[in-house]
Amino acid sequence: MRIGDLAKQAGVSARSLRHYESVGLLDPSRGAQGYREYSESDVGRVAAIRSLMDSGIALSVIVDLMGCVDGSQVKPCPKVLDAYRQHLARVDAAIGRLSQTRRVLEDVLSQHGQQSG
């Protein structure tokens, strides 16, 4: 299938697919006229990529995790679990910073007779 067909089936833009290819996540064959040719399995592969991205994992990390992808499923292999742990630690740190910021803002507002929302 061509890039437009894959984009439609996978629910992503052709631009995203070209980007996934440029970072090594997709490796389409080339037809006689040089057009990218994708297989049905690429639909699942894109679904797995999107699943990992939706988890907050960066594309540069996803490249290393593709060995843990089976069709559209991301297997809980050690690399994936480690990536999730690292990302969770970053999320927890961001929550801590935001909580501190919220406390500071509440304190300022309470000192000026304002109530927080």
Q: How many CA atoms lie within 13 A of 79 on its CB side?
A: 13
In a domain, 24, yes or no: yes
Residue 49 sits in a domain of what CATH number? 1.10.1660.10
pLDDT (tens place) for every residue of the chain, 117 residues total? 999 999 999 999 999 999 999 999 999 999 888 899 999 999 999 999 999 999 899 999 999 999 999 989 999 999 999 999 999 999 999 999 999 999 999 999 999 887 656
- In order of 18, 62, 75, 93, the CA distances from 14 in angstroms are 6, 19, 26, 35
pTM of the model: 0.79
How far apart, in whole angstroms, are the C-alpha atoms of residue 52 and residue 39?
Answer: 21
In a domain, 60, yes or no: yes
Secondary element (H or E) of residue 37: strand 36-37
Residue 26: per-residue pLDDT? 95
Question: What domain range is 56 assigned to?
Answer: 3-111
- In order of 3, 91, 93, the CA distances from 102 in angstroms are 45, 16, 14
The total of structural domains in the chain comes to: 1
